[in-house]
Structure 1
Amino acid sequence: MKQINPQFLKMGLHQKQEDNIVQCLICERKCKITAGKFGYCQTRINKGGKIYSIIYGLIPAISFNPIEKKPLYHFYPGSIAITIGTYGCNFNCFWCQNHHLSHPKEKIHTLALNASKYIPPKEIVQMALRNSCKGTSVSFNEPTLLFEYSLELFKLAKKEGLYNTYVSNGYMTKEVLRHLINCGLDAINIDVKGDVNMVKKYCGAENEKIWRNIVYAKEHGVHVEITTLLLEGFNTNELTIKTISEKILKEVGEDTPFHISRAFPYYRSHEFNFTHSTPKSSLYNAREIAINSGLQYVYLGNVTDNDYQDTKCPNCSQVVIKRNIYGIDKMNLDKNGRCMHCGHFISII
């Protein structure tokens, strides 16, 4: 019988239960997995009474992207990050914009069986250096599923002076987040899907655990930015936007960048009658609500209006970073990160 390349197997955090059941401790689903079976994300297997990842070094997606594409607007603006991803997700959002990786048509176990190329973390770092990247980013699918790989990647990247970033749904356990930070996680963009009810109904998750991780990351020195993908009729109402905005303000501060992005009807959207991309008017309205709630830096994504990607000084309203679609045109900041028009400090790393 064909076997998975042993290089793709890596023992993960787990806790033994009774009767050969093992509990995975990677994300807050904390799946209890019986012998030979997989957890919710289909990337963790109970093998011999231990949890193993089957995607360690299975990296089907590699690209060299501006850090703005994450999006991370206040972290090394204008730099390039080698960006990697694998298969699987611990959510099953019907609107998933990267479903070809998060929820591939073939079973992930089958993809791992048929995969031929193992890419060690050191090779990713070498590729980053050869291509003049300033850092790494684990993205595309849910990066938490590459937790074990990330630990090694981050340590190696740090030795070469590179930064490390995640683009995540934020549903990892606190223990996983702590390990990531200790190994060199510098910045994270966390996708807040909506209010408590929406996250519970469509993601099967607890919103407060996502916010717990947002706060924990911020308190432990990680640069944090928040994204909400707007789906017309699901999370575009004023109360939802105001609730998210006020939560950002209260938990991580007024200078936390908030990205409001336009959703398109991908994956299983038609099953839920989400059949047209979210109107720009809904994004403009959401941005106004967020700004009126007290947030200083509110950006719009997946729109062609570049003005809504610019960073403006909250003191004098002058543009301090002029952006194009995923790039920098001009920066009006001095070497100390202050606005060149009025001297106000802008919270940018």
Structure 2
Amino acid sequence: MRAIYSWPTRTYEVGPELLVLPNVRESPLGRALGGGRVQCALCHRRCTLSPGQAGLCGMRFNINSRLYTAAYGLLTAVESRPMEIKPLYHYYPRTSALTISTWGCTFPCAWCQNWHLSKISSLTGEYVQPEKLIEWALENGDSGINISFNEPTLLTEYALDVFKLARERGLHASINTNGYLTPEALEALHRAGMDGMNSDIKGGRETYRYWLAADFDKLMQTLRRAVQLGIHLEVTYLVIPGVNDQEADEVINAVASLGRDVPLHITAYYPAHKLNNPPTPTELIEEIWRRAKKELDYVYVGNVPGHPGQHTYCPRCGAPLIKRFEDRVVDVKLNGYKCPRCGYEIKIRGYVGRYGNIHRRFI
């Protein structure tokens, strides 16, 4: 099958007149190369930009030999959403996070389900100051801030300010990412307060090379660094027939190399954006789920409503401990963080809480 690439379409021109906009800020992730060129260190593509040139993501550019972002506080969505929908099953379960997005992406996925945000690079949207975002989260009863929908690292400069404020006010900070951010960007976000992330693993080495023009080993470099830093990591594998379904064992082994207790979400694909491959058969999802459970303690099934693979079971005795239906926790049977039947300690970051006013939209 011939690969399809879908990069963001930029809807604006790069020029010094952009510097007056509140959402245009200089980035600390730029490195001068001489001759007016700068290199962006946000993602592993490390775009080298001449004056007036934008990166592949469409939201970062070179003006006057300096790297700028157009995404600082420029939001396309602000909505309270449960942690389970992200999915982050072991990170502040049964709570909600104020979830935000901007434009653009660092990957050309043809199957993107949020293509209306990720495949456009624009200066439209609503500028929201970091303090206002924190006020909204606290007012709504959310437990934290999450960046999702498009690639969250496009908001890195904004996140550095937001996450610091969130930590000061007792809110957690997390992202849902394609995982292709550099160790420099990851470490900066961690220092600011980010301690949770769900990263895609979109397949094995061949999928990354052929479909994404990317390097699987660089993805794994970042995920290993996240584990070393103590960031709570969960991984999502969207199984796409005809694209990455033959690489399941490679994906399982890669996740297991990060730690047996790293949760893996095996998710069914439905046609979206530019890819019209058939939906993933439930039988294939279940087959991969069974194989993964031999190597990992916490394996989940996604996009198959009502499946028992949505629940958390004790890795030692198999007792059902957290039951879910779609994007909600419906029952919790834990003694603190331990299995009430055998005493095994279950991996959970944060606390089991109460949802805020979920799905409330602020913009």
Listed as ranges, the matches of 1:297-316 within 5 Å are: 297-316=298-317
Ranges in structure 1 where 5+ consecutive residues have no aligned partner: none
Relative to the length of structure 2, the TM-score reads 0.89
Contact 1:306–1:323 (8 Å) recurs in 2: no
Mapped to 1, the partners of 2:131 and 2:270 lie a distance apart of: 36
Give the drift of 1:18.
Answer: 3.0
1:225 correspondence with 2:228: no
Helix, strand or coil: the match of 1:269? coil
Counterpart for residue 40 of structure 1:
56
1:29 correspondence with 2:31: no
Give the drift of 1:267.
Answer: 1.0
1:71 correspondence with 2:72: no
Contact 2:306–2:325 (8 Å) recurs in 1: no
RMSD of aligned alpha carbons: 1.4
Identical-pair percentage: 35
Contact 1:236–1:286 (8 Å) recurs in 2: no
Contact 2:306–2:326 (8 Å) recurs in 1: no
Helix, strand or coil: the match of 2:322? strand
Helix, strand or coil: the match of 2:127? coil
Mapped to 2, the partners of 1:216 and 1:29 lie a distance apart of: 18
Helix, strand or coil: the match of 1:26? coil
Counterpart for residue 260 of structure 2:
254
Counterpart for residue 290 of structure 2:
288
Residues 68-77 or 261-270, more deviating: 261-270
Listed as ranges, the matches of 1:150-161 within 5 Å are: 150-161=159-170
Q: Deviations over 1:116-156 (max 9, x none)?
A: x3101111111100100000101111111111001001000
Give the drift of 1:16.
Answer: 1.3
Amino acid at match of 1:257: P
1:136 correspondence with 2:152: no
Listed as ranges, the matches of 1:1-349 within 5 Å are: 3-4=17-18, 6-12=21-27, 13-104=29-120, 108=121, 111-112=122-123, 114-115=124-125, 117-237=126-246, 240-250=247-257, 252-270=258-276, 274=277, 276-292=278-294, 294-335=295-336, 337-349=337-349
Mapped to 2, the partners of 1:205 and 1:126 lie a distance apart of: 38
Amino acid at match of 2:286: Y
Relative to the length of structure 1, the TM-score reads 0.93
Helix, strand or coil: the match of 2:340? coil
Mapped to 1, the partners of 2:209 and 2:155 lie a distance apart of: 24
Contact 2:305–2:325 (8 Å) recurs in 1: no
Mapped to 2, the partners of 1:55 and 1:176 lie a distance apart of: 15
Amino acid at match of 2:285: L
Helix, strand or coil: the match of 1:7? coil
Amino acid at match of 1:163: H
Would you identify which runs of 4 or more consecutive aligned residues in structure 1 move more than 2 Å? Answer: 1-5
